[in-house]
Amino acid sequence: MTSAILMDIIKFVEDSGPQRQKSVQIFFKLVNDWFDVFNISIPVSDSRARNRAYGLALEEQNRILNKMSEVITQLKVINSRSKLPFQKGILLSNSALQMLMEDLNRRFGAQYLLTRRINQDVIENFFGVIRAKGGLHDHPSPLEFKYRLRSFILGKNQGAYSDYSNVELDDTPDIPLSGTLIKS
């Protein structure tokens, strides 16, 4: 179904002329660049400014965030009088990231943020670890989940039981729940 919809969109854009094609191209590049800014996992991955940790190329990265906010603000969705949840989420994420960076820089002298670490759902990562423990069997039954959870709690969570799993392992350190992450 998704491929049919995508093909309809491609056909529509192809038939709409060079001006609309250029607009669509610019829009998709902006969306790609925006996702790059929000998915940084190492300080410097290559020479592209948007792929550096947020803060190391702040002018370019804020340009992308501000442009995305401008486009999302102007975006009108058919049959909708107000902004949809995804639009509100993008606008909030953009302003929150900029304010967080300013605050961390002012209070702690932070030079950059690895944005992938702040936009990943901790619960999603936890379930990813539990799923990965099953190797290729990544949809555990309730009983299997119970045993995998027990193993995790007991500290037997140093990787998957199998080198062949359907879940990408994330090397992001666990967030301490004791409040010792930032000391004043």
Task: Say how far apart CA 54 and CA 22 lie, in whole Å.
Answer: 28
List CB contacts of 94: < 8 A, sequence separation 6 or more.
65, 66, 68, 69
Task: Say how far apart CA 32 and CA 22 lie, in whole Å.
Answer: 15
Higher pLDDT pick, 167 / 124: 124
Band the pLDDT of 25: cuts 50, 70, 90: confident
Show which of 95, 118, 141 is a domain's final residue: 118
Among positive and negative, which fits the CA dihedral 152, 157, 163, 164?
A: positive
Higher pLDDT pick, 75 / 132: 75
Band the pLDDT of 160: cuts 50, 70, 90: very low
Q: If you average pLDDT over every residue of the chain, what do you get?
A: 81
The verdict on 163 and 97 lying in the same domain is: no
Bridge partners of 54? 113
Per-residue burial over 37-61, b = 16 or more CB atoms within 10 Å of its CB, e = otherwise: bbebeeeeeeeebbbbbbbbbbeeb
CA atoms within 13 A of residue 100's CA, in its CB half-sphere: 14
CB of 38 within 8 A of CB of 84? no
Band the pLDDT of 142: cuts 50, 70, 90: confident
Residue 61 lies in a domain: yes
Band the pLDDT of 181: cuts 50, 70, 90: very low
Higher pLDDT pick, 151 / 111: 111
| Total structural domains within the chain | 2
The boundaries of the domain holding residue 155 are: 121-170
Q: Given a cut of 80, is residue 150 above it in pLDDT?
A: yes
What is the structure's pLDDT at 184? 44
pLDDT in tens, 43-85: 987 788 888 999 999 999 999 999 999 999 999 988 889 999 9
The verdict on 106 and 125 lying in the same domain is: no
The verdict on 90 and 142 lying in the same domain is: no
The verdict on 94 and 126 lying in the same domain is: no
List CB contacts of 117: < 8 A, sequence separation 6 or more.
41, 172
What is the structure's pLDDT at 132? 79
Q: What is the average per-residue pLDDT within 9-34?
A: 84
